[in-house]
Amino acid sequence: MSGTGQAGTGVRRYLSWYWFPIIGSIVWIATLLSLLITWIADGSPYYESMDPSGQTIAYISDIGADYLKPLFITGCSITSVCFVLSLFGARWLRHRGRILPNTSTTQRVFSIVAIVGAIIGSVGLILLAIFDTRRYTTLHRVFLTVFCGGVLISALGTVLEYWRLQRNHRTSRAINISMWTKFIFFVIEFALAIAFGILLRNRNHNAGAAVEWVLAILFTGYLLSFNFDLLPAARSYTGQFKDVELTPPVSSHY
């Protein structure tokens, strides 16, 4: 290791990309808990945006459209920025060889797809908070769809990138664990997103609200999972992982 690399290692333990998923997940879960606890503490009130025909469980956006809207916008904005930077950080660190690098153009394409999906989803999350469900119902639902779609595209891109990556790094237990963690998240979130859409369409709002809360809480774990990917960079130096021996791929065109 070079002298410069050794000097920078200590600093990166405190200033590194791995802080973004930590900050994002903390802010997101804190925002959700603040909304939920406030709603419960207020006696589970009925909000103007709720369906008058039997809805008793508030959607996240119902609470976020009331006097806690500034908190909701702030939480969504910080989470969105951290989400995008977590994915961009992984791409940059792989390019720099500070974590296991991409070994093919296909992997890089999937990585870029994941980043683009994250950007789309993040823009949707910020806009759905700004255009709240009480005043801008149609726009809010459009941006909610954009958020869910963007996150799912991002998750799929990440899973495919890691699937191809682990073909050349089969001895890396970390890559394998991360791939399966994100794959499980994608499957569960995709299934719940479909269920949420059906429940919303059928105006089954209590069940739909419950599913939405579960979806949002699970997103915390997904975002935090990137900390596991980025953490090695806190102690690595540029180019360290570029010399890692690759496992021969199944066929040469990979």
Question: Going by C-beta distance under 8 Å and a sequence separation of 6 or more, which residues neighbour residue 94?
Answer: 100, 101, 102, 111
- Judged by phi (left if over 0) then psi (alpha if -120 to 50, else beta), residue 235 lies in alpha
The residue written with tokens 């774990």 in the block is: 221
On whether residue 7 sits in a domain, the answer given is no
Measure the CA–CA gap between 10 and 235, rounded to whole angstroms: 7
Which pLDDT does position 203 carry in this prediction?
87
- The domain of 23 spans 17-45+53-231
9: in domain: no
DSSP the chain: --HHHHHHHHHHTTSSTTHHHHHHHHHHHHHHHHHHHHHHHTTSPPPTTS-TTT--S--HHHHHTTTTHHHHHHHHHHHHHHHHHHHHHHHHHHHHTSSPPP-SHHHHHHHHHHHHHHHHHHHHHHHHHHS-TTT-HHHHHHHHHHHHHHHHHHHHHHHHHHHHHHHH-TT-HHHHHHHHHHHHHHHHHHHHHHHHHHHHHTT-HHHHHHHHHHHHHHHHHHHHHHHHHHGGGGT--TTGGGGSPPPPPSSTT-
Q: How far apart, in whole angstroms, are the C-alpha atoms of residue 102 and residue 171?
A: 15
pLDDT of residue 4: 46
Give the span between the Cα atoms of 87 and 212, in whole angstroms: 24
Dist CA 6 CA 224 (whole Å):
27
pLDDT tens figures, 22-64 = 999 999 999 999 999 999 999 989 888 888 888 899 999 999 9
Q: What is the pLDDT of residues 85-120, one digit of tens each?
A: 999 998 888 878 777 777 888 989 999 999 999 999
Quote the pLDDT of residue 236: 60
Flag whether 124 is in a domain. Answer: yes
**Cα–Cα distance, 158 to 198 (Å, whole number):** 26
36 found inside a domain: yes
Residue 247 lies in a domain: no
Q: Do the domain assignments include residue 138?
A: yes
What's the pLDDT tens digit per position in 3-21?
Answer: 444 444 444 455 688 899 9
pLDDT at 196: 93
At residue 170, the pLDDT reads 66
Percentage of residues of the chain with pLDDT beyond 90: 58
pLDDT of residue 39: 94
Question: Are the CB atoms for 79 and 24 separated by under 8 Å?
Answer: yes
Whether the predicted pLDDT of 249 surpasses 80? no
Q: For residue 254, tell me if it sits in a domain.
A: no
Quote the pLDDT of residue 179. 87
Alpha-carbon distance of 253 to 240, in angstroms, equals: 26
Q: Confidence class of residue 240 from pLDDT cuts 50, 70 and 90?
A: low
Please report, rounded to a whole number, the percentage of residues in the chain having pLDDT higher than 70: 85
Q: Are 19 and 27 a contacting pair, CB within 8 Å?
A: no
> How many structural domains compose the chain?
1
Q: Which of 79-83, 102-106, 237-241 has the highest mean pLDDT?
A: 79-83
Tokens of 86: 């977590």
**CA separation for the pair 150, 58 (Å, rounded):** 24
**Dihedral class, residue 157 (left if φ above 0, else alpha if ψ from -120 to 50, else beta):** alpha
Which pLDDT score is estimated for 160?
Answer: 93
Give a yes or no: residue 3 inside a domain.
Answer: no
Q: What is the pLDDT of residue 252?
A: 40
pLDDT band (50, 70, 90) for residue 191: very high
